[in-house]
Amino acid sequence: MKEIVVGGIGILSGVVLFGLTLVAAAIYSPYQATVGYSSEMGLFVSTLGAIGIFPLVISTVLFASGIYFLVKDMKN
């Protein structure tokens, strides 16, 4: 039962962090446009690069660990 709670919290935390990272990139995009950005990647992806990949990696790890705990508990 504890693994379901840990898995649910992991999935929820990963989704929220991923969403908030995308919202932060959307808010920061107009400021990035005035400074300059790579036209090859586009404004939004350049802004994600300026914010950093670290929050996206952490959200992916949280989501994957949440899925792992849910599957582990379902097998038992």
34-73: pLDDT as tens digits: 888 878 888 888 889 889 889 999 999 999 999 999 999 9
Query: Is residue 1's pLDDT more than 80?
Result: no
Confidence (pLDDT) at 65: 97
Looking at the 3D structure of the chain, how many domains does it have? 1
11 — pLDDT class (breaks 50, 70, 90): very high
Instruction: Estimate to the nearest angstrom the gap between the alpha carbon of 70 and the chain centroid.
Output: 19
Helix, strand, coil % in the chain, rounded to nearest 5: 85, 0, 15
Confidence (pLDDT) at 16: 97
Confidence (pLDDT) at 32: 86
Q: Are 70 and 7 in contact (CB under 8 A)?
A: yes
- The whole domain housing 44 covers 2-75
3-state secondary structure 20-45: HHHHHHHHHHHHHHHHCCCCCCCHHH
Structure tokens belonging to residue 37: 């950005």
